């Protein structure tokens, strides 16, 4: 099969012919019909994720068709249209049994702990626990865009943030996951403030439902403007970038007893983030992480899409062939992306 091939961290990527994946006994091989290109893939390429071994095939946001199923698989067969969360639970531990597969201690992540979906085929274990059936009304490109950014934003905004209609929500960083958070919060009836340093991304945030936007470019402090817009601060604030400045700003712009949700990964030199703990204590703020989403939560997300309240196709910035994926990852070093890029030609 053809696949994006990584032999050294940070070195040039190529498209090579590699062996087709074997079918796991409890898993499936999926013919990849679409795969998103995510900043998490960039982190894998840079060597920021200790689970990634070399050589490697990246890619973790995927949708496709079951090509083969192992003998232990009961719910899936060849020809099924599927997607999956990027955090695949083992299905047998106590964490999975309580429904928290997204934080399974023995989780499998295609594109990180195993070869991923920048390829014509990808193997996925624990299929009965992790696969999600796609409705016929949802195309593969839109489905692939759900796989990391949208589901992470959905869990962050809806499950972790507990966002209610009429509440103010701030989204710091309007890249792929940030724009997904804007769209989901707006679909949930919240009033959204989008914050970024690039005017074009702020325009996209407005188009996706943000009631207001704040330009934090040129070192400007966005917090006073957010507090002014919202009349005292937001109930929910999301760091969708993963930077010490956006994390602190997200906490600082909360109203009393507000909820900060950390979605953006803080890796490499940003792994340790100082936070204003005295403010957290004095205002009884909640600090919450959000890491993917369980397969069993997809039905609520799909219902939001089927109702028309959320339109993932509007998040897609470009479609590209597999051969252009290396250049797309390299461009992420310069933060040039607008919306979600999806590979749809293999």
pLDDT in tens, 297-319: 999 999 999 999 999 888 888 99
Q: What pLDDT, in 10s, does the model give residues 102-137?
A: 999 999 999 999 999 999 999 999 999 999 999 999
CA pseudo-torsion sign 235, 311, 155, 195: negative
Please check whether residues 133 and 172 belong to one and the same domain: no
User: Could you count the other beta carbons within 10 Å of the beta carbon of residue 268?
Assistant: 10
Look at residue 212 in the predicted model and tell me its pLDDT: 98
Angle in degrees, CA 287, 290, 295, rounded to 5 = 150
Q: Residue 267: pLDDT above 90?
A: no
Start-to-end CA span in the chain (Å): 9
pLDDT of residue 193: 98
> How far apart, in Å, are the Cα atoms of 194 and each of 6, 175, 303?
35, 11, 25
Give mean pLDDT, residues 214-220. 94
Q: In the structure, what pLDDT confidence band is assigned to residue 101 with cuts at 50, 70 and 90? A: very high
Same domain, 65 and 120: yes
Q: Looking at the structure, do residues 9 and 138 belong to the same domain, yes or no? A: yes
pLDDT of residue 148: 86
So what's the pLDDT on residue 336?
Answer: 66
Query: Could you tell me which of 140, 159, 151, 139 has the C-alpha nearest to residue 183?
Result: 151
Residue 36 confidence (pLDDT):
95
One domain, residues 168 and 280: yes
Helices (H) and strands (E) in the chain, counts: 12, 15
For the chain, what percent of residues have pLDDT higher than 70?
99
CATH number at residue 132: 3.90.180.10
Which of the listed residues 289, 313, 329 is the one where a domain comes to its end? 289
The two tokens of residue 144 are 């692939």
Mean pLDDT across the stretch 147-164? 95
- Rounded CA-CA distance 57/346 in Å is 14
Per-residue pLDDT, averaged over 285-300, amounts to 96
- Domains in the chain: how many in total? 2
- The whole-number pLDDT of residue 334 equals 79
**Considering just the CA atoms, what is the radius of gyration of the chain in Å?**
19
Q: What mean pLDDT comes out for the span 253-277?
A: 89
**pLDDT confidence of residue 138:** 95
Pair 227, 157 in one domain: yes
Q: What is the percent of the chain with per-residue pLDDT over 90, rounded to a whole number?
A: 87
Task: State the CATH number of the domain containing residue 164.
Answer: 3.40.50.720
Interval 189-206: pLDDT, tens: 999 999 999 999 999 999
Task: Give the residue-averaged pLDDT of 144-159.
Answer: 93
Where on the phi/psi map is residue 268: left (φ > 0), alpha (ψ -120 to 50), or beta? left
Please check whether residues 255 and 155 belong to one and the same domain. yes
Nearest Cα to 287, choosing from 320, 314, 254? 254
State whether 285 and 301 are in the same domain: no
Query: Domain of 297?
Result: 2-147+293-345
130/177 same-domain check:
no
Is residue 276 scored above 80 in pLDDT? yes
**What pLDDT, on the 0 to 100 scale, is given for residue 240?**
96
> Do 64 and 143 lie in a common domain?
yes
Tallying the residues shown for the chain, one arrives at 346
Based on the domain organization, do 10 and 88 belong to the same domain? Answer: yes
Same domain, 157 and 54: no
Average pLDDT for 244-253: 96
CA dist., res. 257 & res. 281, Å (int): 10
Give the pLDDT confidence of 37-91 residue by residue, as tens digits: 998 899 999 998 889 999 999 999 999 999 999 999 999 999 999 999 999 999 9
- CB-based contacts of 277, cutoff 8 Å, min separation 6: none
- Summarised one tens digit per residue, pLDDT across range 320-346 is 999 999 999 998 887 767 778 999 999
Q: Are residues 181 and 310 in the same domain?
A: no
- Tell whether omega for the bond before 55 is within 30 degrees of 0, i.e. cis: yes
Q: Give a three-class secondary structure readout of 241-295.
A: CCCHHHHHHHHHCEEEEEEEEECCCCCHHHCCCCCCHHHHHHCCCEEEECCCCCH
Identify the domain boundary among 261, 289, 317. Answer: 289
Match 């409705």 to its residue by tokens: 135
């Amino acid at each position: 099969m053809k696949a994006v091939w990584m032999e050294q961290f940070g070195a040039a990527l190529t498209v090579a012919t590699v062996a087709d994946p074997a079918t796991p006994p409890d898993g499936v091989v999926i013919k990849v019909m679409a795969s998103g290109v995510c900043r998490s893939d960039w982190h894998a390429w840079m060597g920021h994720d200790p689970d990634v071994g070399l050589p490697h095939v990246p890619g973790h946001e995927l949708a496709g068709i079951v090509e083969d199923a192992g003998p232990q698989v009961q719910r899936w067969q060849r020809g099924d249209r599927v997607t999956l969360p990027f955090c695949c639970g083992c299905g047998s531990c106590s964490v999975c049994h309580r429904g928290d597969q997204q934080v399974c201690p023995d989780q499998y992540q295609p594109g990180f702990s195993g070869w991923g979906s920048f390829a014509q085929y990808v193997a996925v274990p624990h299929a009965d626990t992790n696969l999600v059936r796609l409705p016929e009304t949802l195309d593969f490109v839109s489905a692939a865009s759900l796989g990391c950014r949208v589901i992470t934003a959905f869990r962050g905004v809806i499950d972790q943030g507990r966002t209610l209609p009429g509440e103010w929500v701030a989204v710091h960083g309007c890249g792929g996951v940030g724009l997904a958070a804007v769209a989901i919060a707006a679909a949930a009836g919240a009033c959204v403030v989008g914050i970024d340093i690039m005017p074009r991304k702020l325009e996209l945030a407005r188009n996706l439902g943000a009631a207001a936007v704040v330009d934090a470019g040129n070192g400007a402090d966005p917090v006073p403007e957010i507090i002014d817009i919202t009349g005292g601060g937001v109930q929910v604030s999301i760091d969708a970038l993963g930077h010490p400045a956006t994390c602190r700003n997200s906490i600082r712009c909360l109203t009393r007893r507000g909820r900060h949700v950390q979605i953006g990964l803080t890796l490499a030199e940003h792994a340790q983030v100082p936070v204003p703990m005295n403010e957290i204590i004095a205002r009884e703020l909640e600090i919450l992480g959000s890491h993917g989403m369980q397969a069993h939560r997809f039905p609520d997300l799909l219902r939001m899409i089927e109702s028309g309240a959320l339109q993932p196709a509007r998040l897609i910035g470009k479609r590209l062939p597999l051969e252009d994926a290396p250049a797309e990852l390299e461009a992420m070093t310069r933060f040039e992306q607008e919306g979600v890029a999806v590979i749809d030609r293999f």
